[in-house]
Structure 1
């Protein structure tokens, strides 16, 4: 990737959601690095795809924002994404292999 100025000012246009329940609107940042940090680390993953980052008349889509954030030249420390889990996700519930499925011997009488 060519040299990129992460210190330039940037505007972030989050995508519009179908239900329009999101309160995220256009936001101006002092630097591209701060805008990328917000987009990648703080915005819901589902909103990144349709979002646009505008830097000095150039526009970057969600995939391009991700590439700029992942680049070695990115100047800020990465905090890591706080995953927005669905209400069906339960990380404390793990099922051992063969338990709880119709192929296990415990359920052989159901076949």
Structure 2
């Protein structure tokens, strides 16, 4: 996986399916790291099924979010 710039602005879509996530619209985050943290630490787990994270021209799925969060490149402290 190519890792994004975790400090870049990001748009996060959450929903039980991609159609639901797209219909609900995105939530903007100042950094991709904060968007990933929100998705994995605060959002309902079912909402990751249709999740998409957009960072510039790159898009990541809900499954990708888990990998990004566990990455050694992830800059924020993880919740225990």
- Give the TM-score taking structure 2 as reference length: 0.82
**Residue in structure 2 matched with residue 35 of structure 1 by the alignment:** 35
Could you say which structure has the larger radius of gyration?
Answer: 1
* Equivalent pairs, count: 75
User: Which structure exhibits the higher relative contact order, with contacts defined as CA atoms closer than 8 Å and separated by 6 or more residues?
Assistant: 2
Report the structure, 1 or 2, having the larger strand content. Answer: 2
1:68 Cα deviation (Å)? 0.4
Note the C-alpha offset of 1:16.
Answer: 5.0
Conserved? CA contact 1:52–1:60, under 8 Å = yes
CA RMSD, Structure 1 to Structure 2 (Å)? 2.0
Tell me by how many angstroms 1:69 deviates: 0.6
Deviations for 1:60-103, whole angstroms, at most 9, x for unmatched residues?
A: 100011100110110000124xxxxxxxxxxxxxxxxxxxxxxx
Query: Which consecutive segments of 4 or more residues in structure 1 shift more than 2 A?
Result: 1-4
Corresponding residue of 2:11: 11
SS in 1 for 2:46: helix
- Larger helix proportion of the pair: 2
1:26 match:
26
- For the residues of structure 1 that align with 2:5 and 2:41, how far apart are their CA atoms? 20
Is 2:64 aligned against 1:64? yes
Unaligned 5+ segments in structure 2 are none
TM-score of the two chains, using structure 1 as the length reference: 0.60
CA-CA distance at 1:25 after TM superposition: 4.8
Contact 1:15 1:52 in 2 (8 A): no
